[in-house]
Amino acid sequence: MASHGYFSVLVHAFVFASLATSAFSQLSPNYYDYACPNALSTIKSVVEAAVQKEYRMGASLLRLHFHDCFVNGCDGSILLDPSPTIDSEKNAFANFQSVRGFEVVDDIKQAVDEACGTPVVSCADILAVAARDSVVALGGPTWEVQLGRRDSTTASKEAADANIPAPFFSLSQLITNFKNHGLDEKDLVVLSGGHTIGYARCVTFKDHIYNDSNIDPNFAQYLKYICPRNGGDLNLAPLDSTAANFDLNYYSNLVQKNGLLHSDQELFNGGSTDELVKQYSYDTEAFYVEFANSMVKMGNIQPLTGDQGEIRVSCRKVNNY
């Protein structure tokens, strides 16, 4: 990562150019400059401390933002606890006993509200910034986060189950899923690169290692010690061979048929995304620039702005509940 500063400059330039031609007028990177100038630095300090304490937390915060945006837009709905009026997305298949980091979000919210003097920063924006800062803390690129989202007052487990990409999806299902959210094949491949950090549960890759043929036999055998055919569903395996570093190994692993999830290996399985996977397996500059661009694009999926939604006092429950 000796040339990380160079990549960061490229990322900022590319994202700035992209924003000039895209519909990001509702959001702004300067949204909190006057209302709370210390907001972003406060989020960064809490995220860095959390990742330093446990590097897996970086992947957890990135996944939280991703799963939030893919339900009803980037509105913080994934953070809501179950209640008589909330069908919590935390209980969806992709999230239950898998997605973590809620306590860190609570810590960020408390620190930011103290820094601001009042709740002016939405939980949805906290997730977007924390995802960026987590990637940077693990050696990845940076980008300007567009801000001004407001928080949802509802959640939907049903929508989460229907919209979050499943680990057993085929390439065509993945492409359709991303297209439904306004994202293209390049976004699919590059955002999947977020799997360069973090872990997955045995239940999400068991079928892949026992029943799929597009997996290296030695890799499958190694995983069978972690994930037995019967039981062990909550056992964890790294999503790539350097799960603490934001690097290119996720793509290198796919080229070697060492993808942990069925949906991962589908990106390099004789289909239309093979060439992009090959490129990202050796081209750090391209991956960093495109990842940053796609994160900004994903972060603009149906945000609540203006007088929509609310700014939650607690990220876990709607106001006045």
C-alpha to C-alpha distance for 304 and 202, rounded to whole angstroms: 35
Does 264 count as an annotated binding residue? Answer: no
Does 133 count as an annotated binding residue? Answer: no
In the numeric block, which tokens belong to residue 31?
């949204």
Q: Are 297 and 143 in contact (CB under 8 A)?
A: no
Tell me which amino acid residue 252 is.
Answer: S
67 as an active site residue: the answer is yes
Does 101 count as an annotated binding residue? Answer: no
What is the per-residue burial (b if ≥16 Cβ within 10 Å, else e) of 130-141?
Answer: bbbbbbbbbbbb
Among candidate residues 65, 67, 208, 262, the one labeled active-site is: 67
Does 233 count as an annotated binding residue? Answer: no
Q: Are 175 and 168 in contact (CB under 8 A)?
A: no
Does 170 count as an annotated binding residue? Answer: no
Does 161 count as an annotated binding residue? Answer: no
Does 71 count as an annotated binding residue? Answer: yes
C-alpha to C-alpha distance for 269 and 263, rounded to whole angstroms: 10
Residues near 93 by Cβ (< 8 Å), separated by ≥ 6?
A: 161, 166
Does 176 count as an annotated binding residue? Answer: no
CB atoms within 10 A of CB 225: 10
Does 184 count as an annotated binding residue? Answer: no
Binding-site annotation, residues for Ca(2+): 68, 71, 73, 75, 77, 89, 196, 240, 247
Residues with a known catalytic role: 67
Binding-site annotation, residues for substrate: 165
Binding-site annotation, residues: 68, 71, 73, 75, 77, 89, 165, 195-196, 240, 247
